[in-house]
Structure 1
Amino acid sequence: MARLGTGIGWRPEIADVVERMPGIDWVEAVSENLCPGHLPDSLLRLRERGVTVVPHGVSLGLGGAERPDPERLAALAERADVLGSPLVTEHIAFVRAGGAPTAAPHMEAGHLLPVPRTRDALDVLCENVRIAQDALPVPLAVENIAALLAWPGEELTEGQFLYELAERTGVRLLIDVANLHTNHVNLGEDPAAALADLPLEALAYVHVAGGFERDGVWHDSHAHPVPRPVLDILTDLASRVAPPGVLLERDENFPEGDELETEVAAIRAAVVGGRADSAAVVGGRAGTTPRDRGAAAPRRAVPEERGADADARRRLGDAQAALLAALVAGAPVPEGFDGARLGVQARALAGKRADVVARVAPELPLILGTRYRPAFLAYAQGHPLTGGYRRDALDFAEHVLGARPGEEDRAVRRELREWWLERSGPAPRSTRPGVRLARATRRVLLGR
C-alpha cells in the first residue's frame, strides 16, 4: 500500500486554507461531491503540485442487504481514474433499506448506520465488498463507523468482524480512531481490544476527527477539535504499526487555518509518540510490558469462504428495514433495541436532514425564518427520505403549503409557493415558454 503521509479532508469551505497549509502530503475528497468533468480548481492545483487526492465514498451502502448499485460503483471508479488515485474508500455501513428483498418501502437514512456483527451480515458484506473490488480500477479500503446504538444478538466484536472481513476479501482497512472512541463511550467497547484484534498489515490509512459529548452520548460531529482520548488511541495504533497515512477530518464549523495546522501538528505528534513507544518495546527499554496494547493478537482460523445466500440477504434486509423505519418513519422500536438510545439516533438523523436540506435549499430557512426547523422536524417524522435532498426540499415545501394557513402566513405562503413552482417542474418555471410569453405580454401591456 502506498505511503500517503499526513493529510486533511478537502472541503470547498477550506479549499484555500488547505492549499496554503504546510506539510500536507495528500487530501481526501467526498466522491459524491465531485463532478469528474468539472473538478474544483483547488483540487487541480493540488494535483499539479503532486498532492495525492483520494475519493471517499459515502453512498454505496456496502453493509446493506442489496448488492452494490452498478451506477454508484461506476461513478466511484470514474473519480478514481480522473484523479489518478492510488485507492478509493467507503464505509462498513448501511445507508438505505426496504424495497427488494423486503416487503418494506424503500427508505434512505441520509447517514451511515451500523451493520449488525452477525454471520449473516458478514457474509453479505464480504460478497458486496468483492463485487465492489471487481468493479473498481484501484484497491478499496473500508472504514469502521461510529454508532449511537448497538444491535441485539451480535456474534462478533468489532475487531473480530473487521479481521474476518479483511481476511476473507483482502480488502484494506481505513481505521477511524475517532469512531473507536465514539463506540467506547456509547457502546462500552474497548478501543485497545479492537486494535489488538485487527490485521494491521491491511491498514490503508487512519482518520482522526473531533466530536462532543451530551447526556452521556458521544456525537461524532466532525465539527469540533480532536479530543485527547482520540489522540491517545492514535498513539496506541501507531505503537503497533506505522500508519501509511493519517488524515484530519473536519466537515463543519471550520476554524481558522492556524487552528487546523495546530490539530495536524498534534496528530503528527501522536503518531511520533506511538512509534517511539514501539521502538522502546523492540529495544527492550520499556521494562516488562509497558504497552501490552502493542502486542500482536494471535491469529484465529477464518471460516471457509461462502457466499451470501438469498435467505441471509432477506433476513438482513428485514432487520435493517425495521430499524430504519423506527428511526425515520415513527415505526415501533424493534425488539432488543434500547428505545432511549434509538430516540437519540432518530433525533440526530432528523436534525442532520434538516441541516442538509437547508444547505441544498437555503431559501427555505430564509422564507420560513425561525419556523423552518421545527416545521421540518415535524414533517420528517412522517416522511422518510426516499429521493434525495433536493426532492426532500420540494416535498417539505409542498407539505407546508398543504397545511391550513393562518392569517399571518399569507405573505410567507405566497413566497414559498413561488419558490416551489419555480423548482418543481422539469425546468425552472421562469424559463418555460408559457411563463416567458405571459411575462413578456404583461410588460408590453404595462408599457415597460
Structure 2
Amino acid sequence: MATPPAAWGVDWFETITENHLGVGGYSRAVLEHVAAHRPVVFHGVSLSIGSTEPLDRSYLHGLKQLIAEFKPMWVSDHLCWTGVQGLNTHDLLPLPYTEASLAHVADRVRAVQDCLGQPLILENPSTYLEATASTVPEAEFLARLVAETGCGLLVDVNNIHVSCTNHGHDPDAYLDALPMEAVVQVHLAGPTDCGTHLIDTHDTPVPDPVWQLYRRLWQRCGPVATLLEWDANIPSWDGLLAELAKAQDARNG
C-alpha cells in the first residue's frame, strides 16, 4: 500500500484467513505491513463448522500459528459447510437448522475454541434455499449457539437482507432474535438483484434497505466494529471511504 498509514482513513482491517495460511510473497508482505500499523481481524471461509466431516486439524494448526504471530482482535468464520470427503466447493453452503445440527455445530464450535484458546465469531450466511428439515429459525439457531458455546456473532446486515428477501422473512424479527450482547462485528455490502433472488456479490454500493437495517441494529446493540466488504467492481480508495462514511450518516439518521 503506497499510501502512508496516516492517510488510510480506517481504524482496522479484515483479511481472509486462507490467503495467509502457508503463503508468503506479496500477500504475506501486505499483511505484515498493514498489521504493523493497524489492528487486524481474520475472517475465514473454509472452517466448515457445519460439516459432518472431522474438523481439519491442519487448518486449525495453521490458523493458530497465524494468531500467535499477528494477534488479531478476533477470528471469524461462517455458519455453513463448504465440502465433504476432502473436497472444497469454494462456496458457503447452508445447513438444516434442527436440534441435531445445533448439537453437532455446538460441539464443533467448542472444539475449535478449545484449540484456538479464544472465542470463535460466527457470521450469519446469505442463503438461496432453505432445508425442508429445518425446525429452528436461523437467528434462534445462532442465539442458542451463543448460549451453549460462548461464541460471538458477526452480523452481516446484507446477508440478513438477502436471505430474508429471498425467503420472505421479516428482517426486523431476525434482528430481534439475536443476542445483541454477543455482537462483535458487523459487515456491510451490496448485493446483485437477479429478479427472483438477491445474490450476495459484494460488488455494488450498499442499498438503502441495508442502511436502514444497519441503523436499527445500531439502535439495538450500540457501537460495534463495522466493516465494508467490496470484492469486485471495486471503486477507488476515496470511493470506498465515502461509502464507509455513509455508515456514520446511517447511525445518526
TM-score for the superposition, normalised by structure 2: 0.92
Match of 1:30 among 16, 20, 29: 16
* Aligned-partner Cα distance in 1 for 2:186–2:69: 24
Letter in 2 for 1:190: D
Structure 1 position 108, deviation (Å): 3.0
* Aligned-partner Cα distance in 1 for 2:22–2:70: 8
Aligned to 1:73: 60
Letter in 2 for 1:29: T
Answering whether residue 70 of structure 2 is matched by residue 83 of structure 1, we say yes
Query: For 2:239, what is the secondary structure of its paired residue?
Result: helix
* Aligned-partner Cα distance in 2 for 1:183–1:243: 24
Structure 1 position 209, deviation (Å): 0.8
Structure 1 position 185, deviation (Å): 1.4
Answering whether residue 34 of structure 2 is matched by residue 46 of structure 1, we say yes
* C-alpha distance 109-133 of structure 1, shift in aligned 2 (>3 A): same
Equivalent residues in 2 for 1:184-195, closer than 5 Å? 184-195=164-175
Query: For 1:246, what is the secondary structure of its paired residue?
Result: strand
Equivalent residues in 2 for 1:426-445, closer than 5 Å? none
Unaligned 5+ segments in structure 1 are 1-14, 100-105, 274-448
Answering whether residue 221 of structure 2 is matched by residue 241 of structure 1, we say yes
Query: For 1:173, what is the secondary structure of its paired residue?
Result: strand
Equivalent residues in 2 for 1:14-25, closer than 5 Å? 15-16=1-2, 22-25=8-11
* Aligned-partner Cα distance in 2 for 1:202–1:180: 17
Per-residue CA deviations over 1:366-408 (Å, capped at 9, x if unaligned) read: xxxxxxxxxxxxxxxxxxxxxxxxxxxxxxxxxxxxxxxxxxx
* C-alpha distance 116-19 of structure 1, shift in aligned 2 (>3 A): farther
Letter in 2 for 1:46: V
* Aligned-partner Cα distance in 1 for 2:49–2:57: 12
Per-residue CA deviations over 1:60-96 (Å, capped at 9, x if unaligned) read: 1001112311111111111112111121111100001
Structure 1 position 18, deviation (Å): 9.8
* Aligned-partner Cα distance in 1 for 2:166–2:23: 42
Structure 1 position 120, deviation (Å): 1.3
Per-residue CA deviations over 1:337-380 (Å, capped at 9, x if unaligned) read: xxxxxxxxxxxxxxxxxxxxxxxxxxxxxxxxxxxxxxxxxxxx
Give the paired residue count. Answer: 251
Aligned to 2:239: 259
Answering whether residue 196 of structure 2 is matched by residue 216 of structure 1, we say yes
Aligned to 1:397: none
Equivalent residues in 2 for 1:1-400, closer than 5 Å? 15-16=1-2, 22-35=8-21, 38=24, 40-49=28-37, 51-97=38-84, 99=85, 107-273=87-253
Give yes or no for contact 1:19–1:42 (8 Å, CA) kept in 2.
Answer: no
* C-alpha distance 110-226 of structure 1, shift in aligned 2 (>3 A): same
Give yes or no for contact 1:117–1:156 (8 Å, CA) kept in 2.
Answer: yes
Give yes or no for contact 1:21–1:261 (8 Å, CA) kept in 2.
Answer: no
CA RMSD across the alignment: 1.9
Structure 1 position 30, deviation (Å): 0.5
Give yes or no for contact 2:82–2:91 (8 Å, CA) kept in 1.
Answer: yes
Structure (1/2) with the larger helix percentage: 1
Per-residue CA deviations over 1:303-339 (Å, capped at 9, x if unaligned) read: xxxxxxxxxxxxxxxxxxxxxxxxxxxxxxxxxxxxx
Query: For 1:40, what is the secondary structure of its paired residue?
Result: helix
Structure 1 position 107, deviation (Å): 4.4
Give yes or no for contact 2:9–2:241 (8 Å, CA) kept in 1.
Answer: no
Structure 1 position 215, deviation (Å): 2.0
* Aligned-partner Cα distance in 2 for 1:250–1:19: 20
Letter in 1 for 2:110: R
Structure 1 position 133, deviation (Å): 0.3
Structure 1 position 271, deviation (Å): 2.7
Per-residue CA deviations over 1:207-245 (Å, capped at 9, x if unaligned) read: 111111012210100111111111111101001012430
* C-alpha distance 16-107 of structure 1, shift in aligned 2 (>3 A): same
* Aligned-partner Cα distance in 2 for 1:264–1:254: 13
Letter in 1 for 2:36: E
* Aligned-partner Cα distance in 1 for 2:23–2:201: 31
Structure 1 position 258, deviation (Å): 1.9
Give yes or no for contact 1:58–1:90 (8 Å, CA) kept in 2.
Answer: yes
Give yes or no for contact 2:82–2:93 (8 Å, CA) kept in 1.
Answer: yes
* Aligned-partner Cα distance in 2 for 1:173–1:194: 13
**Identity in percent:** 34
Give yes or no for contact 1:81–1:137 (8 Å, CA) kept in 2.
Answer: no
Larger Rg: 1
* Aligned-partner Cα distance in 2 for 1:126–1:162: 10
Letter in 2 for 1:206: V
